[in-house]
Homo-oligomer: A and B are copies of this chain.
Amino acid sequence: MKVTTPIKVRYQETDQMGVVYHANYLIWFEIGRTAFIEKLGFQYHEMEKDGIVSPVINANIQFQQPVRYGEEAFVQTWLESYNGIRTTYGYKILNHKKEVAVSGETQHVIVKKDNFKPLSLKKKLPNWHQAYMNALGEES
């Protein structure tokens, strides 16, 4: 399963190089990830109501081409890997010519909001676990 989300570049996201400032692509990854999770049938904010948050523990990003204000962009998101504890999402950002402008991955765990103690996604959120397993199955 690959989810594609259109992004409209905000003027605020540009910098004086005349292109989107690089850190903003991590925010676009977040938008793609949110859309992917919704496609699985879940809402991230529902997880937080149970006192659980899902921090990023690792990110890598390759910036191939700049994206500019006034041009269309799209973020594609998929599940790269999942082991019951760690979830890795893959992303590609396409420009208006459908060329890959940016690609990357982020890795996530879930923790208690109170103290950031790690939790097992498999045990704590069995429905999410099953959906991730199914999504992985489709890939292979």
Contacts and interface: CB of A to CB of B under 8 A. Distances in A.
A59 B26 CA distance: 11
Interface stretch (A10-18, A81-89, A92-100, A117-125): A10-18
Nearest to A21: B12
Contacts of A31: 8, 10
Contacts of A62: 57-58
Given A14-B15, A14-B16, A44-B11, A22 B69 contact: no
Query: How many copies make up the complex?
Result: 4
Contact of A63 (B23, B34, B58, B66): B58
Contacts of A44: 11, 70
A62 to B, nearest CB: 6
A17 B56 CA distance: 12
Contacts of A64: 57
B57 A58 contact: no
A22 B26 contact: yes
B63 A60 contact: no
